[in-house]
Amino acid sequence: MIRAVFFDLGKVLLDFDWEAVCKNAGTWCDADPVRMVRWIATSNHTQDYESGRLTSHQFFEHAREALGFRGRFEDFAELWSDIFTEIPETIALVRQLKGRVPLALLSNTNEMHIDWVMGRWDFMRLFDDLVLSFREGCAKPEPEIYRRALAKMAVKPAEAFFVDDRPENVAGALAVGMDAVPFTDAGALRAALVARGVLPRV
């Protein structure tokens, strides 16, 4: 029996587009768009920020040096964070699940992004707990973050259902004994929840 449902955030509940950073960065940065995307995708500083090893201001200083950013921290925070758009069909599923089963967010993310999202989307308050990589000091697909998520929700692995768009994160959940599926679309996710008795058949 499923006693808790865990959602990933990016590409499941909110879509995001790093190209948006590049399109809006011309006023602030010396770096060309290709260099910016490469830095975001491959920099150890980005990984360290999402794992809680850098504060937001420390990350900003690294980005300012690497990309030639000329604005203030507040300017960078908006540029860095204004990349999200909602996936309404999946958010509707969260609303349907509320009250039927405890809900948690399990996301590799950073402080600037979560502050931005919390300030703009009220569905985030439907979750009973937020398990975030930068707060936990570990990230998916490391086993430790799944164990912490299970402990926070006080459920056994077999009682937990998890959805994530990245196959390696789904595999990480399965490896600790959770039930997990890759996200493709809200319809397939609903079918998976119905099959497990979490949502009723329509």
pLDDT at residue 28, as a whole number: 86
pLDDT at residue 61, as a whole number: 97
Task: Check residue 120 and report its DSSP letter.
Answer: T
Q: Which residues have a Cβ under 8 Å from the Cβ of 118 and sit 6 or more positions away?
A: 124
Decide: 189 and 181 in contact? Cβ < 8 Å.
yes
What is d(CA 54, CA 13) in angstroms, rounded to the nearest whole number? Answer: 26
Q: Break the chain into its structural domains and give their ranges.
A: 4-15+85-195, 18-81
H-run or E-run covering 162: strand 160-164
Per-residue confidence in pLDDT tens, the chain, 202 aa: 999 999 999 999 999 998 878 777 777 888 787 788 889 889 999 999 999 999 999 999 999 999 899 999 999 999 999 999 999 999 999 999 999 999 999 999 999 999 999 999 999 999 999 999 999 999 999 999 999 999 999 999 999 999 999 999 999 999 999 999 999 999 999 999 999 999 999 7
The dotted CATH code for 4-15+85-195 is 3.40.50.1000
pTM: 0.95
Task: Check residue 10 and report its DSSP letter.
Answer: B
**Cα 42–44–48 angle (5° rounding)?**
130
Count CB neighbours of 56 within 10 A: 18
